Structure 1
Amino acid sequence: MCGIAGIFHCGTPKPVDPERVRGMTDALAHRGPDGSGVWTAHGVGLGHRRLSIIDLEGSPQPMHSVDGRAVIVFNGEIYNYRELRRELEKDGARFRTDGDTETILAAWQRWGTGCLDRLDGMFAFALYDCDRRSLFLARDRFGVKPLFTAMLSDGSLAFASELKGLLAHPLTRREVDPLAVEDYMTWGYVPDHRSILAGVEKLPSGHFRLLEHQRDPAPPRQWWDISFTERARGRPDDLSAELLHHLRAGVSSRMVADVPLGAFLSGGVDSSSVVALMDEADRAPVTTCSIGFDVAEVDETGHARRIAALFGTRHHERTVAADGIAEVDRLVEIFDEPFADASALPTLQVCRLAREHVTVALSGDGADEAFAGYRRQVFHRREEQLRSVLPSALRSPLFGTLGRIWPKADWAPRPLRARSTFQALAEDGAVGYARALAVIPSELRDRLFGEGMQRARGDYRAEQALIETMIETPGRSGLDAAQYADLKFWLPGDILTKIDRTSMAVGLEAREPLLDHRLVQFAASLPEGLRIRGMQGKWLLKRTMERYLPNDILYRPKQGFVVPLAQWFRGDLAGEARRVVHSERLLQSGWFDRTALADLAEKHISGRSDNGRVLWQLLMLEKSLARLDLAR
């Protein structure tokens, strides 16, 4: 795992200062503490920071092809590189190293952009072809590895693994995109179709760019997509056997490393499944790491210990205070852009613990998106069934009225919090799912935003991008569309961003075996009744893992990392809540209404409503803007 950065002149080639590229890669030193390198030629410069995982001494970067006609900087891992290498050697390719980086160079020279279809892995890379005088930028299928780009005023394109790499270049604009603030306040993160900085873009997952000197910059082109259009046929037992084959392949392929390897273990279905299959694949005990909390209601270490004992792992755990607010400034430094998924706090802690024992850790990320494990997906399927029997002319007035008059009732038991369900049922499926996924609904944003933001965003609403993604889904049903949106929108923007930044911050490589693309494509082909049965999500996955895991682990309610935001902002952080809603950095921007923010904080502190997540978003936004030295 590494950090990459570079500069490419799209217009007339100009000399590239190697020290400028070095400054960009130095800003990414945490991603690659084991080595660094810079290469420049007329019109191009490539930089690299290395975390050694495979071929520890023999694969320095930037790396040249054997014939010297291509140069690459690469962040990620190619799990099938040995098979590719053998195929390329049969065609006459020669290799000087034992790693995966050189395999990409040879694959490019053999297949051009078609090489991407043959790569099984997580990656973002920049490859300069000296003969074609072109720069090839590519990102993996799901967006596990990030890549930021920016067109600069001198006609060059700069790229980097993280925003801080671009900010090390003096020509990067430091102007906030107000539409990114609208996106952030809606979702709690800045999705991949936008950046907090105007003029900065993220290469979308499953896309590449091919740039040439003295030509206008080519836009991103999609090279891979997930499809829900086909349905697998067969008995559940046969499909379960096929699923197990894919699960084993995904896990075993990601266990290749020349450094110590382990796994995150929460005691939930996904991480426990990964550990079970790791134990099956290797005689040596698996190294597992868990984080516990000093509040019993949110502590899962008992479940993790049980799985560790079942498989005889070398288990490590650490109990941390559930108030890990002391880490907020560190999170702001790690993420650059505002990022308000509070589970990043315990994720950073478990990455730190893992790094004390291993250099690579396997996670269970991706299973909820691929197999329909989120409650919102289960409810969405039920809502879609109701929409199919009730015409819109009846649904809209009935449920729209109920949604308006039903109390918000944050304090009530979950079954009585029906307002959001009624509001969703009044809309079509895509609009309803966007409402379910939004952290701050449009009505509340309208109250919080000031006149400046109202003018800046115009008719734009953050939900529209997700709605369009669902409408364009290659699939058959509303559940297909919801899962597709989660895989294309939520997964890269939130989940994979969280694990990439927190793991890289401590020099740890995280791998996601449940995001093997063949496994995910198989999951997308499952009939809906094998994804969700009754109110049970991930049904076939859980049934398949019954041979390995106890039922009370497989079928217990989903928990995840829980952070007590509401309690924080009514307790020790009440003063911080009041401070942030009166922050001049936020208020002088014109984005927010002063009175509405103050009212939001006081209602929360007094217990009249639960605005903990909104206050957390405001806090992370204000601190991120301060770190970037941005106001508007």
Structure 2
Amino acid sequence: MCGIVGIFDTRGAREIDPALVKRMNETQHHRGPDEGDVYTEPGVGFGHRRLSVIDILSGQQPMFNAEGNVGVVFNGEIYNYPELTEELQKLGYVFRTKSDTETIVHAWSAWGEDCVQHFRGMFAIAVWDRVKQTMFMARDRLGVKPFYYAVLPDGMFIFGSELKSLRAHPDLPRAIDPRAVEDYFAYGYVPEPKTIYSSAFKLSPGFCLTVKIGQPIPQPRQFWDVPFKLHGAMTQSDAEGELVVRLREAVKIRLKAEVPLGAFLSGGVDSSAIVAMMAGLMKDPVNTCSIAFNDKAFDESEYAEQVARQYKTHHHTETVDTDDYALLDTLADLYDEPYADSSAIPTYRVCQLARKRVTVALSGDGGDENLAGYRRYRYAMAEDSVRSRLPTGLRKLVFGPLGKYYPKADWAPRMFRAKTTFEALSRDLVEGYFHGVSIMSDAMRAQLFTPAFQKQLQGYRAIDVMQGHAAKSPTDDPLSMIQYLDMKTYLPGDILTKVDRASMAHALEVRVPLLDHKLVEWISGLPPEMKLRGSEGKYIFKKSLEQYLPNDILYRKKMGFAVPLAGWFRGPLRQRVRDSLLGETLKDTGIFNIDYLTEMVEQHESGRRDYSAPIWTLLMFEAFLRKELLGAGA
């Protein structure tokens, strides 16, 4: 695990400043504190920060082949590298190390761009082929590892593991993309392939990009997608058995490390399942860690301890104050662009705890997207069931006006929030799902933004992101469709971004067995009713685990990593909210309607409305802007 950076001259072979490459590289020192190196030649510069996990003695990067004409920098792990090494040796390639990095070098020579089809793992890769005058870049299929890039006005192509490494280049234009702002206030993050800057991009999961000297830069090419192709006839019993076999194998290949290894254990289904599989595969007790909260309403530690006792793990728990809001500015530094998932706070703390014990941790991320575990899937399917019984015209005629004029009830449980339900029923599946997951609705964003800023959007809407993915979806099943949308937006943009930055801030490598692409492919082919049955999400997963975990772990109500935002903003952060939302920083952008911001703050303070999620989103945007204005990270 590590951080990578690079500079590539698309117009020729100009000299690359080694000091500049080093500056870019050192912005990511936290990602790889063990070693760091840079390499330059005319037209090309590579930088690498290393967290030593496999082949500690000889896995340094940048790594070249024996002839010196193919070099690579790489962030991640190729779990099937032993098998690939054997296959490549049979083709005549000679290995000088035992690292997965060298596998990439020879795989490029053997298979060219198709090399990515052979890799099983999490990766962000850049390969320089001097003979072909080509830079090849790829990002893993689900987006576990990040990859940012930009083409500068002078034709230099730059890339890095974090946006801060690109910002270290003095020639990167830093104009904010209005469309990214629109996206952010809907989703709470800037979805791929955009970044907050008009000039910089994320390489989307499952995409690669080949840049050749003297040729126009092409659009990235997709090399993988979630198939959602149904398997043949399969009984539930057979599906349960095969799911466990495949899960165990996905865990097993992630246990190789030359450093201490463990797991996050929240007491939820996914992390508990990972620990159960690890315990059956490892000779020594599993190292597990979890955080407890001093407020029982947010605390799941008793369930984590229950699983730890069952599997006799070396379990470590630390208690975190629920008023842990001191990290607000730290988060702005970590994420480099506006990012509004408040669960980044406890995620940061659990990574901090884990790093005291291990260098590699397995997590249960991806289970909800794979197996339909989110409550919102249940709501979406209930709404779609009603939609399917009524003609589109009638739905819009009846539910549209009801949604518009029915009073809002944020304080009530979702099932009683009739306004939200009416609005969702007046839309189609994608529109309804977008409306349900949006932090700020279309109507709220229309009030939030000034007319001048709305004009800059030129008709662009955040829903365009989901509609674009829906148009390319391999499935038209309603449940599979919204799972697919989450795998393209929420999973890489929010969940995996959160875990990557929080873990790498502490030089901790996190591996995600439930996002093994072979496992994801197989699960996607299960019938939707095996994933969501009635009100039970992850149905087949839970049934398959009944022999490993007790029912009060499998079937209890999902909690998640929540923090008490509403109370913070009426209490200890009340003045911070006023200073940030109503101060000069947001006002001077010309983006925001200050009267609406004032209304939000006053209504939240009074308790008449709960604007905690929009306020947090605005706080994080303001923190990002202050960082920009101060020039931090530049």
Same fold per superposition (TM over 0.5): yes
Superposed CA RMSD in Å reads 1.2
- 1:44-123 equivalences in 2 (<5 Å): 44-123=44-123
TM-fit CA distance, 1:353: 0.2
The secondary structure found in structure 1 opposite 2:440 is: coil
TM-fit CA distance, 1:579: 1.1
- Aligned partner of 1:324 in structure 2 is 324
Matched, 1:370 2:388: no
TM-fit CA distance, 1:233: 2.0
Matched, 1:441 2:432: no
Q: Structure 2 unaligned runs (5+)?
A: none
- Aligned partner of 1:600 in structure 2 is 600
The secondary structure found in structure 2 opposite 1:547 is: coil
Matched, 1:155 2:193: no
Q: In the alignment, residue 586 of structure 2 is paired with which amino acid?
A: L
Q: In the alignment, residue 431 of structure 2 is paired with which amino acid?
A: V
TM-fit CA distance, 1:379: 1.7
- Aligned partner of 2:8 in structure 1 is 8
Greater mean alpha carbon deviation, residues 113-122 or residues 209-218 = 209-218
- Aligned partner of 1:269 in structure 2 is 269
TM-fit CA distance, 1:271: 0.4
Supply the distance in 2 between the matched residues of 1:25 and 1:539 (Cα, whole angstroms).
45
Q: In the alignment, residue 510 of structure 2 is paired with which amino acid?
A: A
Do 2:207 and 2:221's aligned partners in 1 also have CA atoms closer than 8 Å? yes
TM-fit CA distance, 1:467: 2.1
Matched, 1:396 2:422: no
Matched, 1:42 2:42: yes
Do 2:251 and 2:277's aligned partners in 1 also have CA atoms closer than 8 Å? yes
TM-fit CA distance, 1:260: 0.4
Supply the distance in 2 between the matched residues of 1:358 and 1:458 (Cα, whole angstroms).
49
Greater mean alpha carbon deviation, residues 136-145 or residues 583-592 = 583-592
TM-fit CA distance, 1:626: 1.1
- Aligned partner of 2:138 in structure 1 is 138
Q: In the alignment, residue 343 of structure 1 is paired with which amino acid?
A: S
Do 1:4 and 1:25's aligned partners in 2 also have CA atoms closer than 8 Å? yes
Supply the distance in 2 between the matched residues of 1:630 and 1:155 (Cα, whole angstroms).
28
The secondary structure found in structure 2 opposite 1:400 is: helix
The secondary structure found in structure 2 opposite 1:588 is: helix
Greater mean alpha carbon deviation, residues 512-521 or residues 349-358 = 512-521
TM-fit CA distance, 1:471: 3.1
Q: In the alignment, residue 107 of structure 2 is paired with which amino acid?
A: A
- Aligned partner of 1:186 in structure 2 is 186
Supply the distance in 2 between the matched residues of 1:453 and 1:294 (Cα, whole angstroms).
43
The number of aligned residues is 631
Q: In the alignment, residue 507 of structure 2 is paired with which amino acid?
A: G
- Aligned partner of 2:205 in structure 1 is 205
Do 1:228 and 1:524's aligned partners in 2 also have CA atoms closer than 8 Å? yes
Matched, 1:546 2:529: no
The secondary structure found in structure 1 opposite 2:589 is: coil
TM-fit CA distance, 1:630: 7.7
Supply the distance in 1 between the matched residues of 2:491 and 2:421 (Cα, whole angstroms).
23
Q: In the alignment, residue 482 of structure 1 is paired with which amino acid?
A: I
TM-fit CA distance, 1:232: 4.2
Does the C-alpha gap of structure 1 residues 611 and 232 become closer, same or farther in structure 2, counting only changes over 3 Å? farther
Percent identity over the alignment is 47
TM-fit CA distance, 1:528: 1.3
- Aligned partner of 2:172 in structure 1 is 172
What TM-score comes out, normalization by structure 2 length? 0.98
- 1:494-513 equivalences in 2 (<5 Å): 494-513=494-513
Supply the distance in 1 between the matched residues of 2:439 and 2:231 (Cα, whole angstroms).
33
- Aligned partner of 1:357 in structure 2 is 357
1:580-611 C-alpha deviation (Å, 9 max, x unpaired): 22121111111001111011100000000000
1:263-286 C-alpha deviation (Å, 9 max, x unpaired): 001000000000000001112100
Supply the distance in 1 between the matched residues of 2:523 and 2:436 (Cα, whole angstroms).
23
Supply the distance in 2 between the matched residues of 1:413 and 1:151 (Cα, whole angstroms).
48
TM-fit CA distance, 1:130: 1.3
Supply the distance in 2 between the matched residues of 1:510 and 1:566 (Cα, whole angstroms).
31
- Aligned partner of 1:624 in structure 2 is 624
Supply the distance in 1 between the matched residues of 2:222 and 2:430 (Cα, whole angstroms).
23
TM-fit CA distance, 1:470: 1.9
Q: In the alignment, residue 361 of structure 2 is paired with which amino acid?
A: A
Q: In the alignment, residue 437 of structure 1 is paired with which amino acid?
A: V
Supply the distance in 2 between the matched residues of 1:448 and 1:210 (Cα, whole angstroms).
40
Do 1:176 and 1:630's aligned partners in 2 also have CA atoms closer than 8 Å? no
Supply the distance in 2 between the matched residues of 1:186 and 1:568 (Cα, whole angstroms).
22
Supply the distance in 1 between the matched residues of 2:247 and 2:421 (Cα, whole angstroms).
34
1:422-465 C-alpha deviation (Å, 9 max, x unpaired): 21111111111111111110100111111231111121111111
TM-fit CA distance, 1:308: 0.6
Supply the distance in 2 between the matched residues of 1:581 and 1:499 (Cα, whole angstroms).
27
Supply the distance in 1 between the matched residues of 2:351 and 2:510 (Cα, whole angstroms).
9
- 1:131-530 equivalences in 2 (<5 Å): 131-530=131-530
Supply the distance in 2 between the matched residues of 1:231 and 1:593 (Cα, whole angstroms).
52
The secondary structure found in structure 2 opposite 1:376 is: helix
TM-fit CA distance, 1:13: 2.1
The secondary structure found in structure 2 opposite 1:625 is: helix
Greater mean alpha carbon deviation, residues 448-457 or residues 339-348 = 448-457
1:173-214 C-alpha deviation (Å, 9 max, x unpaired): 121112111111111111112111111011111011111111
1:334-361 C-alpha deviation (Å, 9 max, x unpaired): 1111111000000000000000000000
The secondary structure found in structure 1 opposite 2:76 is: strand
Greater mean alpha carbon deviation, residues 449-458 or residues 91-100 = 449-458
Greater mean alpha carbon deviation, residues 288-297 or residues 469-478 = 469-478
Q: In the alignment, residue 67 of structure 1 is paired with which amino acid?
A: E
Q: In the alignment, residue 521 of structure 2 is paired with which amino acid?
A: Q
TM-fit CA distance, 1:7: 0.4
1:342-388 C-alpha deviation (Å, 9 max, x unpaired): 00000000000000000000000001001111111122222222222
1:143-162 C-alpha deviation (Å, 9 max, x unpaired): 11111101112211000110
Q: In the alignment, residue 50 of structure 1 is paired with which amino acid?
A: R
Q: In the alignment, residue 261 of structure 1 is paired with which amino acid?
A: L
Supply the distance in 1 between the matched residues of 2:66 and 2:537 (Cα, whole angstroms).
50
Supply the distance in 1 between the matched residues of 2:415 and 2:212 (Cα, whole angstroms).
57
Supply the distance in 2 between the matched residues of 1:509 and 1:344 (Cα, whole angstroms).
16
Q: Structure 1 unaligned runs (5+)?
A: none
Q: In the alignment, residue 215 of structure 1 is paired with which amino acid?
A: Q
